[in-house]
Each structure stands twice: as C-alpha cells, then as structure tokens.
A and B are shown apart, each in its own frame.
Chain A
C-alpha cells in the first residue's frame, strides 16, 4: 500500500507543487482543501475500499503501460496493443506512469486507487488557485474548492475522480490558464502556451488541442481588449455559443460521425435534454441559481468577462449534437465552478461577519456533499457485488495472480468475453485480442466456439483468435470461462457485437453456469488449471 501511495504521489508531485506555488500567498488554504479532499474521497470509497477499482479506463491504459515496462515503445498506443483501435492521444500519459511503476513496483490496483485520489486533490487545488488568482479573496476561493471536490461529473466527463488522459489534461490546462493570467509579457505568454501545447496535445489530441486554443483565445481577448467594452462582451456572450452550436450541429449532419471509433461514438452522442439531465444530476439547481447571479460580478472586471466568453464558447460546443461533445466539458467544468462560486461570493460580499461566512461555507459543504452522495450512489449501484462496489472481484484478482505466477507473458494468450479479458490482460500482462475493444471477428469466433460440436472444432475456433499487433507464436491459449462470459454469451448477437456493451460488474457462477462449465470441460476434453466461484481457466496447449 505504501509503494502504491508513493508511486501515485510522485506522479502527481509536479502538479501539486505547481498548484501550491500558485497559492503561495495563502498557503493555509491548502489545509482545508486537503482535509475536505480526504472526506470527499472517503464518501466516494465508502463501499469501495482499497484497492477496489472504480475506473474502468485503467485496463486499457495499464495494458499499454505493461508493454512499455517490457521495453517496447511507440508514439501511438495502437502500435503497442490492439486494445487501441482509435488513437485519442500519444503514449506520453503511459510513459509517465510506467516510469513511477518501474521505480516503485506498486500493486497495480493500489496505484490506480491512489491516483484517483490525487486527481481529486489536484483538480480542487487547481480550481482554488484559479479562483484566488481572479478574486484574491479567501472565501470565494474556498467555495470554489468545495464545489470542485463535491461536484462530480459522473457521465462522459469524469473530471475529478477517474484518472485518465482527458482529466489530467484538464487539470494541467487550469494550472496553465492561472499562470497565463499572471503573465504580463507577451513573450512569457507565448512560451507558456507553447510549453502547454507540447504537453496538452500529446496527452489528449482533442481536449488538449481545445485547451491550447482556449489559452490562445484568452490571451488574444486580453491583448486586444475586446472584452473591455461591456457591449461587445454581452454580444459575444450571447452569440458565440449559438454560432458554435449550429456550426457543430451542421458538421455532424454532413459527416457520418456515428462511424467514428468503430461505432462507440454513437454511445457518446447525447441530446441537449440528456445533457441538461446530466448537469442536474451533478450540480442540482446550483448553476441555475448561482450562474445568473455571478453575471453581475463578472461584468465588473475584464478578466472575468474574458473567462465568461471562454465558458460560453465551451457551452456552445458541448451543447451541440456531436459525438464526444461532452468531453470538452472536462475543461468547461472548472469555469462553471468558478462562476458558481463567484455567484455565492457576490451574495456574501456584504457579509462582514466571519461567523456568517463560516455558516455559509458549512452549509455549502454539507449541501454539496449530499448532492455528491446521491450522485455517486446511483453511479456505483450497478457495480455492487458482495457488498462492495468494484469493477473487479477478489476472485478475478486472485486468478490474475495465479496467471502471473504460472505463465509466460510472451508465449501465452488469453481469450474470454471483452470485460474479463481486458481485466486479465491489464493485471497479468498476457495479451488478448483487443481487450475490451475486441474486434467483430473475434467476438464472432468466441460465440461460435461455444456452439462447437467437437473438441477439435472448439480448439480450432478459439485459436483463430490472434493478436493483430503481436504476431509472435503462442504456445498456450488460456480460455477464461467466467460468469461474465456466460452472461455475455446469453446476450443478443447485436449486444455481443456492440463495442459499448459489456458485462461491466463482477459476476459469480450460478447453478446453471456450473452445469454449463461441467458440460464444456467434459464435451471438449479441456484441462482446467484454475477454478474459483467466479471463473475457471482452461488451458489449450500444444502446437497451435
């Protein structure tokens, strides 16, 4: 556990130091934020103790990290593993993690458990740093920090609690924006934007590039003084989102964007009504109340007017019926929080009484914590298995340890349903075809294998499944016959071929599953090498 903590801490140390530097004038603000971050993370983990994972993206990232740890390298993840069929980023994110994992040799699940916490903390510190840079006042800074900790965007965005490239890019962007606001000289600003571009874009092509464009837009608006005039600000604020909304809507009509990322994009295309429902789930009616109030405060200073224009730009894009449009909100959430906190600040400005401010801060903390609890409860409920919310069961974890101890990574190959094989691949370093993004041919082959009539037919069909990147010969095929696999096989053909459909939560064998397993082993004369309550591993060995 200590090595897991240290590895995640060292990885986040530069970000923590950067945020700490930006808050150097009011260092004591760090203390309540750190304490409240522990409270928020405890609520998030109240039914998901160490090291239970709640981040399903970790499997594909860990697979790439495993390759890098084995001495392989490529600029794009798709060159290392067929889990990546779409390159949304370079391997920069994975190289950094591989570095700390190489040094500290942490438990994999433990590393990701702590990394999620440090993401929550750094995102809150980045928010407070930005708010302090704008207001130079402690009360709104703390309100922004509390909002950041307890407002969790539990669909598509996942800004604070799931450690992945887009969420790290957003934290870096907020820190860069806060630093940019202090840059007086144009040359310093250009250097900062260039350095940000070198990190943000390789970290996430779309969100990173959007972040860089927003940094440029911020500096441009500041330098040209376009937002100095209130009339221009109001016109921009009202027209830009509308132009962007219709522009993006038009683009999505011209191109067949549904085919983007092998159909997964359709699962990430939401209507405006769906997006508004998401926002209500994350924030309650807080934006409805505090954003309009904040306008009064915003109009007064040029810096906030510029930031408001950036927010309306993001809202315009996010609202559009465009696949993955919500991902841009990973950046927008920080500005929304800043302005909501600004609305609270505007109302409390006349409140000179210290105890009055403490009461309000206490009420905000309790209210947002309640909202956070109701939000995460419904999010975690489908994952509750044996009284614990997790993407992986202890049975699956134990099976992965068995494979690590008994099999050679380079000559062995795993076959199962997309969920099971992605977990096993990440935890063991043994290849599978595509992990959770298994291709259609392999999905069909697995379904056909389990309908086989003879042992030869079963083995032949299973061994047609091969890694599309690593063509080295495999001497052992391990079929992980899990309760998830049986449930996946019971799904409709459309579901089985759907890249966005998976048996996400852990499962255990039913009486029916056990009977199927017994029949399978007997009919196909398979050798069971490992078995527990949730899965059995059968070995197909020989000259394949």
Chain B
C-alpha cells in the first residue's frame, strides 16, 4: 500500500513538473515562420497565398492561386487542383521576358541595356503598347533590377497566358495545375535559355 502511495506521489510530481515545463515553453515570443531558402530567394506563405521574395527587398512574386508547393534543389513547383484560372502577381519594377527574347514589361532604357549586356542577347520590345499582352511563350524569365539573381517560370500549359502591364500580373486564361519556378543565382545563367 505504501509503495503504491509512493508511486502515485511520484507520478503526480512528474505530472506537475511536465506541466511547469510546458508553462515555461509558453513564454516563447514567436514560433519560427516557415521560410524556405532557395538560392537568394525565400518561399513562404502569407495572407494572400505563397510568395517568392528576397529579405528586406520589398519585392515579391506572389502565387496566389496555388495553395501548395514542392521544392527540389533550386526548383519550386507550385500546384493547384482548382479548375479556376490563377494569377501570378509580380512587383512594379520586375522585368519579364520570354525564351524567344521578347520583352513584355517596360523598364527604363538603361536597365534594358544592362540586361542585354548580361544576357549577351538583344531583347526585343513587345511590338505594341497595348496594356494587356498575350504571351508568345509559356517559358518566362523575371529579373528585378534591384535584386540579385533571376527567376525562370514555366507555366505548363499550351494555351497562352496574358500579362497586364498596368496591374503587374500574369493571368492564366485556362486551367493550369502547376507553375515551375527555377531560381538562378545570376542573370547571365539565362543567356543559353533564350532561343
């Protein structure tokens, strides 16, 4: 009987201590936000969806319609099971061009020239000033002039998407189940990808 009482007492003590230890842990100010580092960039969820961004840069590419992503090396694959079209929102200063050398955004001339120099290829400006542009290719490149590195996007469908130059977004007009993004450390790495 005494042994039983002793055991119960000890179990009670262990229980109290475990509760106290958990209470000590409750003082943790903030749990780490899941931010996955990919090259110069980070991938993490925010209020709107999933974003690729660089720290303290105030520039991100937002993949709002894609609730999930997988990571393999420097490749991030965004996916959705929804049949609705999904937009990709980029930052105001981002420069977007495709693998055929067509420049879709409207950067200042010096940025365009510097990009040509880095790529070793002369990019051609999109032929019209229309505000919504239909893409010639689903294989795109995104460079922010204020950030290191570059993003390579493959939209993964045969029908063309559009870019809204005023709203800074790439819109998928048909169902797309995935977007593949490859993070590059340098802009010059893209030169052999332009046809």
Q: Mark B6-40, 1 if CB is under 8 A from A, else 0.
A: 11011101101110111111111111100101111
Contact B148 A347 (CB under 8 A): no
Q: Determine which of B21, B26, B27, B95 lies in contact with A363 in the assembled complex, contact meaning CB atoms within 8 Å.
A: B21
Knowing A351-B10, A378-B30, A385-B40 are in contact, say whether A289-B148 is a contact too (CB < 8 A).
Answer: no
Which chain B residues border A483 with CB–CB below 8 Å?
148
**Which residue on chain A has the smallest CB distance to residue B117?**
A518
B14 contacts A356, CB within 8 Å? yes
B17 near A347: Cβ-Cβ < 8 Å: yes
A280 and B35 contacting across the interface, CB-CB below 8 Å = no
**Which of B61-69, B128-136, B138-146 contacts its partner?**
B138-146
Residues of A within 8 A of B144 (CB): 510-511
- Residue-wise interface mask of A (461-501) relative to B, using a CB-CB cutoff of 8 A (1 in contact, 0 not): 00000000000000000000001000000000000000000
- Contact segment of A103-111, A367-375, A523-531: A367-375
Q: How far is the CA of A508 from the CA of B55 in the complex (A)?
A: 12
Interface readout for A359-386 with B: 1 if CB under 8 Å, 0 if not? 1100110010011011001100110111
Among B20, B37, B115, which residue has its beta carbon within 8 angstroms of that of A289?
A: B20
Asked whether B48 is an interface residue with its Cβ less than 8 Å from the other chain, the reply is: no
A350 CB-CB contact with B under 8 Å: yes
B17 touches A510 (CB 8 A): no
- Say whether chain A's binding surface is mostly helix, strand, loop, or mixed: helix
- Rounded to whole angstroms, the CA-CA distance of A290 and B14 in the bound complex is 15
Question: Does the CB pair B145–A289 fall under 8 Å?
Answer: no
In angstroms, Cα B17 to Cα A353, docked, is 14
A352 contacts chain B at the CB level, 8 A cutoff: yes
**Interchain CA distance A367-B23 in the complex, whole Å:** 10
**A514–B117 CA distance with the chains assembled, in angstroms:** 10
A451 CB–B CB distance under 8 Å: no
* Chain A residues closer than 8 Å to B21, beta-carbon distance: 360, 363-364, 367
Min Cβ gap B181→A in Å is: 16
> Does B101 make an interface contact (CB < 8 A)?
no
Q: Does B187 contact A (CB under 8 A)?
A: yes
Inside 8 A of A277's CB, which chain B residues have their CB?
A: 29
A285 and B27 in contact, given A360-B17, A385-B40, A511-B115 (Cβ under 8 angstroms): yes
Residues of B within 8 A of A533 (CB): 148, 185-186
Q: By the criterion CB–CB under 8 Å, are B186 and A350 in contact? A: no
Please tell me which one of the listed residues A284, A508, A515 contacts residue B27 in the complex, with CB atoms under 8 A apart: A284
Within 8 A of B (CB), among A266-309: 277, 280-281, 283-286, 288-290
Chain B interface residue number, banded? 35 or more
Q: B147 an interface residue at 8 Å Cβ cutoff?
A: yes
Assembled-state Cα–Cα distance A371/B18 (Å): 15
| B143–A347 CB distance below 8 A | no
Chain B residues positioned under 8 Å from A382 (CB to CB):
55-56
Per-residue CB proximity of B110-122 to A under 8 Å, as 1/0?
A: 1100110110000
- CB contacts (< 8 Å) of B117 on chain A: these are 518
Instruction: Please tell me if the beta carbons of A356 and B10 are within 8 angstroms of each other in the complex.
Output: yes
Distance in angstroms from A528 CB to nearest chain B CB is 15
Q: Are A284 and B40 in contact (CB under 8 A)?
A: no
Bound together, the chains give a CA A350 to CA B39 distance in angstroms of 54
B25 and A356 contacting across the interface, CB-CB below 8 Å: no
Task: Report whether A280 and B27 are in contact in the complex, using a CB–CB cutoff of 8 Å.
Answer: yes
B26 touches A285 (CB 8 A): yes
Tell which of B28, B118, B146, B147 touches A284, judged by Cβ atoms closer than 8 Å: B28
- The interface size bin for chain A is 35 or more
Check B17 against A374 for contact (C-beta < 8 Å).
no
Given contacts A351-B14, A367-B24, contact A509 B9 (CB under 8 A): no
Nearest CB on B from A163, distance (A) = 25
CB-based contact B114/A367 at 8 Å = no
Query: Per a CB cutoff under 8 Å, which of A344, A373, A508 touches B40?
Result: A508
Q: Which residues of B lie under 8 Å from residue A25 when comparing CB positions? A: none
Complex alpha-carbon distance, A283 and B95, angstroms: 46
With both chains docked as a complex, state the minimum distance between the C-beta of B161 and any C-beta of chain A, in angstroms. Answer: 24
The answer to whether A374 touches B32 (Cβ under 8 A) is yes
A509 to B149, CA, bound (A): 8
Residues from chain B with Cβ under 8 Å of A378 in the complex: 30, 32
In the complex, the answer to whether A344 meets B17 with C-beta atoms within 8 Å is yes
User: Is A512 engaged at the interface, CB distance under 8 Å to the other chain?
Assistant: yes
Give the distance to chain A from B74, nearest Cβ to Cβ, in Å. 10
Residues in chain B near residue A508, CB distance under 8 A: 40, 148-149, 185
Find residues 153-181 in chain A having any chain B CB closer than 8 Å to their own CB. Answer: none
Q: Out of A363, A371, A381, A515, which one reaches B35, CB within 8 Å?
A: A381
Q: Does A387 contact B (CB under 8 A)?
A: yes
Tell me the complex Cα distance, A533–B185, Å. 9
A176-B28 Cα distance, complex, nearest whole Å? 33
Chain A min CB distance to B68 (Å): 21
| CB atoms of B17 and A511 under 8 A apart | no
Name the distance in Å between A332's Cβ and chain B's nearest Cβ: 19
Among candidates A288, A371, A505, residue contacting B25 with C-beta atoms closer than 8 Å = A371
- Give 29 pairs: A residue, B residue, CB < 8 Å, sorted on A: A280-B29, A283-B24, A284-B25, A284-B26, A284-B28, A286-B27, A347-B20, A350-B9, A352-B10, A353-B7, A353-B10, A356-B10, A356-B14, A360-B14, A363-B18, A363-B21, A370-B28, A373-B32, A374-B28, A381-B35, A381-B55, A387-B37, A508-B148, A510-B147, A511-B95, A512-B114, A514-B114, A515-B111, A533-B148
Residues of B within 8 A of A (CB): 6-7, 9-11, 13-14, 16-18, 20-32, 35, 37-40, 42, 55-56, 95, 110-111, 114-115, 117-118, 143-149, 185-187
Known contacts A348-B17, A381-B35; 20 further A-B pairs (Cβ under 8 A): A280-B29, A284-B26, A284-B28, A285-B23, A285-B25, A288-B24, A351-B10, A351-B13, A351-B14, A360-B14, A377-B32, A378-B32, A384-B55, A508-B185, A509-B148, A510-B144, A511-B115, A511-B187, A512-B146, A533-B148
Q: Give A contacts to B, CB under 8 Å.
A: 47, 277, 280-281, 283-286, 288-290, 344, 347-348, 350-353, 356, 359-360, 363-364, 367, 370-371, 373-374, 377-378, 381-382, 384-387, 483, 505, 507-512, 514-515, 518, 533
